[in-house]
Structure 1
Amino acid sequence: MPNQRAMRFPACTDGARLGLGGAPLGNLFRAVTEADAQSVLAAALADGCRSFDTAPHYGNGLSEQRFGQALRALPRERFVLSSKVGRVLRPDAGAARAQNGYVDVLPFTQRWDYSAAGTRRSVEDSLQRLGLARLDVAYVHDCDAATHGDAHPQVLAQVLGETLPTLRALQREGLVGAVGLGVNDVQVCLDVLAQAELDALLLAGRYSLLDHSALAALLPLCVQRGVRIALGGAFNSGILATGVLGSAEPRFNYARAPQAWVDRTAAIERVCAEHGVPLRAAALQFPLAHPAVDIVVAGAQDVAQWRDSRAMLAQPIPAAFWQALRDQGLLPAEAPTS
């Protein structure tokens, strides 16, 4: 078996360091038709996208079904696909159609399960929904303190004692390639890395143009340990896509943005306007300058959103723009930008 510790997330065939994230195609916040979902996946494939991420959580398996429909007929070496463990789906004819921020979900309910048996079942169920024989990356999903509250110490102990060892066993069996965490929390990554080996992280929102909380400790540790990062949440749930100077209600971390983040975003927007740089371009390009980050993973609910992300990655950004952000205290001096 190849050395998974040496893995890297592949860029698109034209070099664009962009992957497609599956939450929007699981009907996050609004429904996406099957035809529109398949159009997004087809557009990404036509553009040479090679990295795809999904999860059972996204629409109660709907995103996995849609990704599998688009990918399973392709040569398996054509793409890198990740999914997640930590939630197991149970069939429920009476399940609510809206759950956990997703609408028109499949008729299942979710339960947390980081046990050895639950981890194996989660991987096997995902593979059935996808119609594939292996995951290139399996992430432990949302195992952080903010999600689990008082139960977090028990969850962390189970992740270390059962979830990760089971994923390593599945790796040896060929059902899983790389093993990592899929989280939007820095501390849980540091806690796990203090006691276990990881191959990769899907880190959402914690190293962005707005939120630099991963910069001081986690990213240098990942470089040192060879842990590769696929960076999700580059728009911090929307605030860095819409900005705050227009009419859209800004969202940060899946909720209405607190005023401090609104004010900081407004300051960044003003620098963008002074230098003729689209906010979305700066948001997508900023994290890619760090040596720990291989790709940004962008969600798209339609083809226009996917193509916009592609265009924003290609947008020239002058060095003076990044320096202006530093001069105004909006970027840390140590954050790389080229």
Structure 2
Amino acid sequence: MGHRKIANTPVEVTALGFGASGIGNLYRVTPAHDAQTAIEAAWEAGVRYFDTAPHYGLGLSERRLGAALRKRPRDAYVVSSKVGRLLVPNESPRGTDDEGFMVRDDLRRQWDFSRDGVLHSIEATLERTGLDRLDVVYLHDPDDHWRQAAEEAMPALAELRDQGVIGAIGAGMNQSAMLTRFLRETAADVVMLAGRYTLLDQSALDDVLPAARDLGKSVVAVGVFNSGLLSRDRPAEGMKYDYQDAPPALVARALAIADVCAAHGTTLPAAAIAFPHTHPSIINVTLGMRNPEQVMRNVELHRRHIPEGLWDDLRAEGLIRSDVPAANGPERGARCL
């Protein structure tokens, strides 16, 4: 599996990444055995970038990921985690987490983008994972905390990066406008862009992607299925788009894109995974995976050849924006495999 470097840093990530929210029991319980064997399957397939966060399962994802990687050579893989949500004792537990994870709520999340909060969060993550270091650290969803995130958290991360404690730093969000500010106004090396450069939403072409290209910085793409609408060969009514029921017009558009994909001998989910790699600033697509079957499906989709003419036809039919760039260098077609 091809590797790409986070610009201006020593950190290299594989073109496909393992998103570890699912092994933190997102929406439903993932048995420990499934989590372990999912990571093993990803490793055997060549995946070497793993992304987690304290938020995912109130630390469960970090614990499971660390346990599964502990016997692997540390220099052979890259782990990213996040700061901004400290895990603190929950004085009023009700039994189950109320933020989408099927775990006990003995802990709760506390927003904190202060310098001390960042240092404490990283220390706690290292303790939960059992790792000696984190390769990449992102500010996690700082939408309502710009000032503290930009003026306290990012400088704290930059200091750790400059000391060689962390390899690369950045921010991850579901919006592109503030990620653009992080690239232009802070020391961020990379941003994790969720859902804003997909077959159904190319709004990142208006801000964060030009900024990344102008500044020589990097982008990791997540949420490329837009919460599920692009995850099947033939989308259907009732599927989700950005965590809500997909509007009929978007379902119809996804079906139209699926028809063009079929005419080119490929599928909608394979094209959805390949599409972000058409932009030269996007170095990785990370997908959520919770069991070996999901891992192998995602790896197989990632490896499929995507004819270059697909993007041309989607542009010609007005199904993606006309300013979507042609496939990028070695990523053309089969994406650097």
Query: Under a length normalisation based on structure 1, what TM-score does the superposition of the two structures give?
Result: 0.89
Describe the SS at the equivalent of 1:194. helix
Q: 1:242 to 1:138 in 2, by over 3 A?
A: same
Question: Does 295-304 or 250-259 show the bigger shift?
Answer: 250-259
1:168 maps to what in 2?
158
Residues 1-338 of structure 1 correspond to what in structure 2 (within 5 A)?
Answer: 5-7=8-10, 9-11=12-14, 17-92=15-90, 94-105=93-104, 107-144=106-143, 152=144, 155-242=145-232, 245-246=235-236, 249-338=238-327
Letter in 1 for 2:170: G
Describe the SS at the equivalent of 2:58. coil
Describe the SS at the equivalent of 1:128. helix
Contact 2:11 2:135 in 1 (8 A): no
Q: 1:238 to 1:218 in 2, by over 3 A?
A: same
Contact 1:50 1:78 in 2 (8 A): yes
Q: What value does the CA root-mean-square deviation take over the aligned residues?
A: 2.0
Contact 1:4 1:177 in 2 (8 A): no
Contact 1:204 1:233 in 2 (8 A): yes
Describe the SS at the equivalent of 2:54. coil
Tell me the CA shift for residue 95 of structure 1. Answer: 4.8
How far apart, in 2, do the equivalents of 1:133 and 1:320 lie? 46
Contact 1:185 1:203 in 2 (8 A): yes
Letter in 2 for 1:250: M
Q: Structure 2: which 5+ residue stretches go unaligned?
A: 1-5, 328-337
Contact 2:83 2:139 in 1 (8 A): yes
Contact 2:50 2:78 in 1 (8 A): yes
How far apart, in 1, do the equivalents of 2:51 and 2:86 lie? 18
Tell me the CA shift for residue 164 of structure 1. Answer: 0.6
Contact 1:29 1:102 in 2 (8 A): yes
How far apart, in 1, do the equivalents of 2:106 and 2:257 lie? 42
Q: 1:194 to 1:223 in 2, by over 3 A?
A: closer
How far apart, in 1, do the equivalents of 2:13 and 2:117 lie? 29
Contact 2:221 2:285 in 1 (8 A): yes
Tell me the CA shift for residue 174 of structure 1. Answer: 4.0
Describe the SS at the equivalent of 2:219. strand
Tell me the CA shift for residue 242 of structure 1. Answer: 2.8
Letter in 1 for 2:205: L
How far apart, in 1, do the equivalents of 2:193 and 2:186 lie? 17
Question: Does 157-166 or 98-107 show the bigger shift?
Answer: 98-107
Letter in 1 for 2:280: P
Describe the SS at the equivalent of 2:306. coil
How far apart, in 1, do the equivalents of 2:259 and 2:265 lie? 10
Question: How many residue pairs are counted as aligned between the two chains?
Answer: 322
Describe the SS at the equivalent of 2:258. helix
Letter in 2 for 1:164: M
Q: Structure 1: which 5+ residue stretches go unaligned?
A: 12-16, 145-151
2:333 maps to what in 1?
none
Describe the SS at the equivalent of 1:66. helix
Tell me the CA shift for residue 65 of structure 1. Answer: 0.5
Tell me the CA shift for residue 213 of structure 1. Answer: 0.9
Contact 2:266 2:306 in 1 (8 A): yes
Letter in 2 for 1:215: L
Q: 1:314 to 1:325 in 2, by over 3 A?
A: same
Q: 1:39 to 1:205 in 2, by over 3 A?
A: same
How far apart, in 2, do the equivalents of 1:7 and 1:255 lie? 38
Contact 1:184 1:205 in 2 (8 A): yes
Describe the SS at the equivalent of 2:147. helix
How far apart, in 2, do the equivalents of 1:30 and 1:233 lie? 18
Contact 2:172 2:179 in 1 (8 A): no
Q: 1:224 to 1:41 in 2, by over 3 A?
A: same
Question: Does 134-143 or 314-323 show the bigger shift?
Answer: 314-323
1:147 maps to what in 2?
none
How far apart, in 2, do the equivalents of 1:99 and 1:276 lie? 42
